[in-house]
Structure 1
């Protein structure tokens, strides 16, 4: 909110600039264009960089750019000053909008249920040479609407995330033939962090005290999309979820508990 308020603060001064410094409408328009270009940059051209920064670093970057823009605009007597000042303000707002977009992404009850039922998920990271690294995880969990997983035996995943926090997680219930794809950035929590201790304790309570938890990773999701098998999309006539589940129980040769 502070970022958006700071960005809007100089707008009422445009009429003052026209009256006292003979600014033209064209000059004011150019300042608006500079601001708009700056806003778009982090959301498009700099989107990858924005997504790789932590939330705290993105916020600091946004506020720093806003401060720079305001400092450049302290003594406005020529049109090039607001032009120079509005560009970093726009970039700062772009970073702020990217952060706001992330906080609007919600982990729903159905997503949480799929994660619990599937048990196994697959975490994709990027190796140093650009090739993909895919690591199975049985520790993916949702707590207070946030995704976490534990590093129990995944040194390559952690090494990759330290270099590049971009991550994708796929989780599919093999009997329902559906699931979700989570994309975002990973934050490796300090071992004494409260969230890290919470997840580490959950892993040990679930699996046993002998399980090592070397790291806990928190996922800041930037997009979530559903995954559906062809059984949901192409079957004619369409099949409901119960029919699909029953079919794949038979294919895997299993029965639900209590059946």
Structure 2
């Protein structure tokens, strides 16, 4: 399991961009704003997702980049799971009360981060920082 610092977790829970791909390799990227960590899992509220859900059903491998990554310029890769009940869904509902009051999520995307890459400009851009392999 990769080790995320508290600063990384804080940065990821702001506006992030979630990249998915169909089984045929057709990409999709969408902004996500209702995000939180529950333990070591990233939970994203599913409020309006369509293509993202379709892609995760076909191919659970995802990539994440944050909107403001000045302090921790990393790309995160992981495996996603769709949930519509249980602990993570309840956390998504609680998160929505704060981030998007009045909107109940359809479900939640639960992501296990499996690797971290540098996106800091310079000679180390794109290099692997950490992996769980």
The alignment's TM-score, normalised by the length of structure 2, stands at 0.80
Q: Which residue of 1 aligns with 2:16?
A: 121
Ranges in structure 1 where 5+ consecutive residues have no aligned partner: 1-103, 235-259
Q: Which residue of 1 aligns with 2:117?
A: 225
Higher RCO (C-alpha under 8 Å, 6+ residues apart): 2
Ranges in structure 2 where 5+ consecutive residues have no aligned partner: 124-133
Larger radius of gyration: 1
CA deviations on 1:43-94 (whole Å, 9 max, x unpaired) are xxxxxxxxxxxxxxxxxxxxxxxxxxxxxxxxxxxxxxxxxxxxxxxxxxxx
Q: Which residue of 2 aligns with 1:156?
A: 51
Shift of 1:216: 0.3
Contact 1:107 1:146 in 2 (8 A): no
User: Which of 63, 72, 87 in structure 2 is aligned with 1:168?
Assistant: 63
Name the CA distance, whole Å, in 2 between partners of 1:111 and 1:155: 27
Higher normalized strand content (fraction of residues): 2
User: 1:131-146 counterparts in 2 under 5 A?
Assistant: 131-146=26-41
Shift of 1:107: 2.1
CA deviations on 1:109-135 (whole Å, 9 max, x unpaired) are 12012224xx21111111354221111
Q: How many residues align?
A: 123
What is the Cα-based RMSD across aligned positions, in Å?
2.0
User: 1:15-164 counterparts in 2 under 5 A?
Assistant: 104-116=1-13, 119-164=14-59
